[in-house]
Amino acid sequence: MEKVYSIILHSIFIMNSTVSDPRWWFLLLSLFLPWILWWKIVDNTRFFEILSYGLFWALLASLFDLAGITYHLWNYPYDLYKDIPTLLSADVAVIPVLYMLLYQYAKTWKTFIVGALLVAVIFSYIFEPIFQLLHMLELIKWSHWKSAISFFLLGLSTKVIFFFLKKHFQSSY
């Protein structure tokens, strides 16, 4: 009889577990797949420069996401791991990797600006509405256009910061 109870409890756990939700698997895959893709196509001659840029983006995305949650601008009703309030897969994988690819492939300021605008629009007007439909994002005191402006300005700011850092350290040697 004890074995039957154990099986029933296990079945209830599996049915109610987040692991049985396709959104959980989507978030888990989006945590690792962008990095695997990036690893295969990164310019190895600029590996540490591009990786530093991406890690800086991961830090910024995490901090801004945490600030948005703290000030009740948005919320994530569903996430990969409930003890981390931010959307971990976006903050440390999807956003940094996409901006690293932009940083790697946009050779001129003009192409970077156009690319940053395109990335901002994709995140704000494609990904965010999809996440809202899937009940993974709730905008409280925020809007898609505010996201687009924020992504665009952060994209330009990070490029400027790394432009000056690269210039400073190249002239130092």
Total-model pTM = 0.86
Identify the weakest region by mean pLDDT among 17-21, 44-48, 130-134: 17-21
Percent of the chain past pLDDT 90, that is, above it, reads 79
- For 135, other C-beta atoms within 10 Å of its C-beta total 11
pLDDT over 90 at 17, yes or no: no
Give the pLDDT mean for 115-127: 98
- Cα–Cα distance, 162 to 158 (Å, whole number): 6
Which helix H or strand E contains 164, and what residues bound it? helix 144-172
Predicted confidence (pLDDT) per residue in 97-117, tens digit: 999 999 999 999 999 999 999
For residue 5, the model assigns a pLDDT of 62
Domain ranges of the chain: 21-172
What is the spatial distance between Cα 26 and Cα 127, in angstroms, rounded to a whole number?
13
Distance between CA atoms of 32 and 35, rounded to whole angstroms?
6
pLDDT band of residue 164 (cuts 50, 70, 90) is very high
For residue 149, how many other CB atoms are within 10 A of its CB?
A: 13
- β partners of residue 75: 138
Distance, CA of 141 to CA of 53 (rounded, Å): 29
* 169: confidence class by pLDDT, cuts 50, 70, 90: confident
Is the per-residue pLDDT at 21 higher than 80?
yes
Q: How confident is the model at residue 173 (pLDDT cuts 50, 70, 90)?
A: low
Digit-coded pLDDT (tens) for 51-75: 999 999 999 999 999 999 999 999 9
- pLDDT reported for residue 8: 61
pLDDT of residue 3: 74
Q: Rounded CA gap, 163 and 23, in Å?
A: 38
Whether the predicted pLDDT of 9 surpasses 70: no
| pLDDT tens digits, 133-158 | 999 999 999 999 999 999 999 999 99
Instruction: Report the phi/psi class of residue 43: left, alpha or beta, with left for phi > 0 and alpha for psi in -120 to 50.
Output: beta
Question: What pLDDT digit, counting tens, does each position of 71-98 carry?
Answer: 999 999 988 888 888 999 999 999 999 9
Question: How far apart, in whole angstroms, are the C-alpha atoms of residue 148 and residue 120?
Answer: 5
